[in-house]
Structure 1
Amino acid sequence: MSMLLSGFFTRKGKLTCLVPTPGSVFGPTTLFLGSFFRDAPRGLRLSRATPLAAHHGLLLVRLPYSDPLLHLAVCNLLAGTCIVLPPLESSWKYGDSGYAIFTTADRPSSCDEQPSWPPGYSALFKVLVICCHGYHKPCILHSFSYGEARWKMPTEIVCESTKLSICGSLKHPIAVVCHGTAHWLVWCKSTDVYRWHIIDVDAETCHGSLREIVIPIQHILPVTYEPQLSVAHDGTLLLLYLQRPGLQLKICVQQDNVKGDNDGRWLCSRVVELKLPTSIQAQEMYLTPLGEKGGTLLVKDNWMNVYAVDLKTGVMKSLASCGQINRKIVPFELYWPV
Structure 2
Amino acid sequence: MDFSIASILMLDGLTNGAIYALLGLATVLVFTVTRIIFIPQGEFVAYGALTLAILQTGKIPGTVWLLLIMALIAAALDGFAAWQRYRKPAAALKSALRTLAIPVVIAGVTVWAAPLQLPLLVQALLSIGVVAAFGPLVYRLAYQSLADATSLVLLIVSVGVHFAMTGLGLLFFGAEGYRNPSFWDMRLALGPVNLSGQTIIIAAVSVALIVMLWLFFERSIYGKALRATAVNRLGARLMGISSQSAGQLTFAMAALIGALSGMLIGPTTTVFYDSGFLIGLKGFVAAVVAGLSSYPGALFGALFVGIVEAFGAFWASAFKEVIVFTIILPVLLWRSLRDGHSTEEH
Taking structure 2 as the reference length, what is the TM-score of the superposition?
0.22
Which one has the bigger helix percentage?
2
Which one has the bigger strand percentage?
1
Higher relative contact order, chain-length normalized (CA < 8 Å, sep 6+): 2
Between structure 1 and structure 2, the one with the greater Rg is 2
Taking structure 1 as the reference length, what is the TM-score of the superposition?
0.22
